[in-house]
């Protein structure tokens, strides 16, 4: 199965349109919940947990029911969440801001699961250094994390996007395009990166390990749902930390779990392990709490919101990057306090760290 990695702005207008029913809606105490997820190395534990009874175990503990549904189309899963069909969804920090938050859906990051630490890369043909990118056409999925990575790479060598030409290319065509004589540069993600680097002319000149902590993978839920149903957040945390502990375990059981996750994502154990090696997975809740409460998160989200604003992805007519408020642990708010739509909390991760689930 081809991995559909985190395209965070393609459907923002559609998402904002269908979000009307969900925007501002009040939740209430309830007993059943729906969670959406899609294929990516850092999210595979959710599918494993569902098929191996871990979801049911934690749901039963809190007297609730949790339905977990896999989507093969990442953007569709986020749109369905934004439209109100799901209570929670896996997405990136950028997507959370540009799709549900920009669509008016107040969303809270329950679990900070990982960040890309090499899975995303800038690759040139027959050029060994990043500065050589000037003047080239860059094939990438426009408005995706690849586009963001390109912007950060260009910053590092004091170039601007106007110094290159972005060529919007489907992820399905990226590998084939690089094999053609006319394509000299690309930005993409694993496993496509690994495939392209098998070309002897390919040179990786920048990757996400050089901007650690900026491309963040989350499990988010509607803020109103969490407020009225805190046990749902506790169950999600319990599911995640039990499953991810098994995922990283250097035991026969851990190896079997990773092999199964690899097969489910269209690769084998070695391929899945390689993707995990380029993913900073927060398997210990205390580490996730430390990351989420660090001042660096505010810096990252400031970079992200300004990138999205520069691409007109925070809503039509948005006057500035401040249009949408982002709340961080401790109460710090980036943007408009009266329009907070994306929130980061350490509540549930801290409960896991303290053994309070």
Query: What's the CATH number where 27 sits?
Result: 3.40.190.10
**Beta-strand relationship, 32-38 and 88-92:** parallel
74 inside domain: yes
Quick one: pLDDT band at residue 4, thresholds 50, 70, 90? very low
Same domain, 271 and 240: yes
Mean pLDDT of 251-272: 95
Mean pLDDT of 271-286: 95
Same domain, 141 and 163: yes
Same domain, 30 and 106: yes
4 inside domain: no
Judge contact between 159 and 133, C-beta under 8 A: yes
- Which residues are within 8 A (CB) of 211 and not within 5 positions of it... i.e. 6 or more apart? 149, 152
244 inside domain: yes
Judge contact between 240 and 109, C-beta under 8 A: no
Quick one: pLDDT band at residue 14, thresholds 50, 70, 90? very low
Mean pLDDT of 199-224: 97
298 inside domain: yes
Quick one: pLDDT band at residue 24, thresholds 50, 70, 90? very low
Of 184, 218, 219, which Cα lies nearest the Cα of 199?
184
Judge contact between 211 and 121, C-beta under 8 A: no
Same domain, 199 and 223: no
Same domain, 242 and 346: yes
Same domain, 24 and 107: yes
Euclidean distance between CA atoms 206 and 156, whole angstroms: 10
Sign of CA pseudo-dihedral 263, 267, 269, 275: negative
Quick one: pLDDT band at residue 290, thresholds 50, 70, 90? very high
242 inside domain: yes
pLDDT for residue 170 = 87
6 inside domain: no
pLDDT digits (tens, 9 = 90+) for 31-77: 999 999 998 899 999 999 999 999 999 999 999 999 999 998 888 99
7 inside domain: no
Tally of domains in the chain: 2
> What percentage of the chain has pLDDT greater than the value 70?
92
Domain's final residue, options 177, 210, 243: 210
pLDDT for residue 2 = 34
Is it the case that residue 13 has pLDDT exceeding 60?
A: no
Judge contact between 179 and 199, C-beta under 8 A: yes
Euclidean distance between CA atoms 106 and 324, whole angstroms: 10
pLDDT for residue 257 = 98
29 inside domain: yes
Same domain, 221 and 312: yes
pLDDT digits (tens, 9 = 90+) for 226-244: 999 999 999 999 999 999 9
Judge contact between 53 and 118, C-beta under 8 A: no
Same domain, 33 and 98: yes
- How much is the mean pLDDT over the chain? 91
Is it the case that residue 341 has pLDDT exceeding 90?
A: yes
Judge contact between 36 and 86, C-beta under 8 A: yes
Same domain, 133 and 97: no
Domain's final residue, options 194, 210, 226: 210
Is it the case that residue 248 has pLDDT exceeding 60?
A: yes
Judge contact between 70 and 38, C-beta under 8 A: yes
Write phi, then psi, for 104 (nearest 5 degrees): 90, 10
Same domain, 127 and 103: no
Q: Which residues pair with 33 in a beta bridge?
A: 66
Q: What is the pTM of this model?
A: 0.89
pLDDT for residue 266 = 84
Q: What angle do CA 41, 70, 253 make, to 5 degrees?
A: 50
Same domain, 293 and 257: yes
- For 276-331, give the DSSP string: HHTEEE--SHHHHHHHHHSTHHHHHHHHHHHHHHHTT-S-TT--SGGGSEEE-TTS
With 0-12 CB in 10 A as exposed, 13-18 as middle and 19+ as buried, what is 340? middle
Euclidean distance between CA atoms 195 and 75, whole angstroms: 24
Q: Which H/E stretch holds residue 241?
A: helix 230-248
Quick one: pLDDT band at residue 26, thresholds 50, 70, 90? low
Question: Which structural domain range is residue 172 located in?
Answer: 120-210
Domain's final residue, options 188, 210, 232: 210
- Tally the C-alpha atoms within 13 A of residue 233's C-alpha that lie toward its C-beta: 28
Mean pLDDT of 102-121: 96
């Amino acid at each position: 199965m081809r991995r559909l990695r985190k395209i965070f702005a393609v459907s923002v207008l559609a998402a904002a349109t269908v979000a009307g029913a969900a925007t501002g809606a009040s939740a209430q105490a309830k007993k059943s919940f729906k969670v959406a997820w899609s294929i990516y190395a850092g999210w595979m534990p959710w599918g494993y947990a569902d098929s191996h009874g871990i979801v049911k175990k934690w749901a039963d503990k809190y007297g609730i029911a949790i339905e977990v549904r896999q989507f093969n189309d990442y953007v569709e899963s986020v749109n369905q969440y934004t439209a109100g069909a799901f209570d929670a969804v896996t997405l990136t920090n950028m997507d959370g801001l540009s799709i549900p938050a920009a669509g008016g859906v107040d969303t809270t990051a329950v679990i900070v699961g990982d960040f890309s630490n090499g899975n995303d890369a800038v690759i040139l043909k027959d050029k060994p250094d990043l500065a050589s990118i000037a003047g080239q056409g860059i094939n990438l999925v426009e408005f995706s994390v690849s586009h963001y990575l390109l912007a950060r790479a260009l910053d590092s060598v004091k170039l601007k996007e106007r110094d290159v030409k972005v060529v919007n290319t489907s992820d399905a065509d990226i590998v084939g395009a690089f094999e053609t004589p006319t394509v000299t540069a690309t930005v993409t993600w694993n496993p496509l990166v690994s495939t392209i680097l098998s070309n002897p002319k390919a040179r990786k000149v920048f990757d996400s390990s050089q901007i650690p902590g900026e491309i963040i993978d989350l499990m988010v839920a509607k803020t109103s749902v969490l407020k009225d149903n805190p046990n749902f957040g506790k169950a999600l945390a319990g599911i995640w930390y039990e499953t991810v502990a098994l995922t990283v375990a250097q035991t026969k059981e851990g190896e079997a779990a990773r092999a199964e996750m690899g097969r489910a994502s269209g690769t084998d154990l070695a391929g899945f392990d390689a993707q995990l090696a380029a993913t900073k997975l927060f398997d210990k809740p205390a580490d996730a709490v430390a990351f989420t409460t660090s001042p660096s998160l505010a810096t990252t989200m400031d970079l992200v919101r300004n990138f999205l604003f520069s691409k007109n992805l925070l809503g039509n007519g948005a006057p500035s990057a401040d249009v949408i408020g982002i709340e961080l642990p401790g109460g710090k708010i980036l943007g408009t306090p009266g329009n907070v739509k994306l929130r980061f909390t350490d509540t549930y991760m801290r409960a896991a760290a303290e053994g309070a689930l």
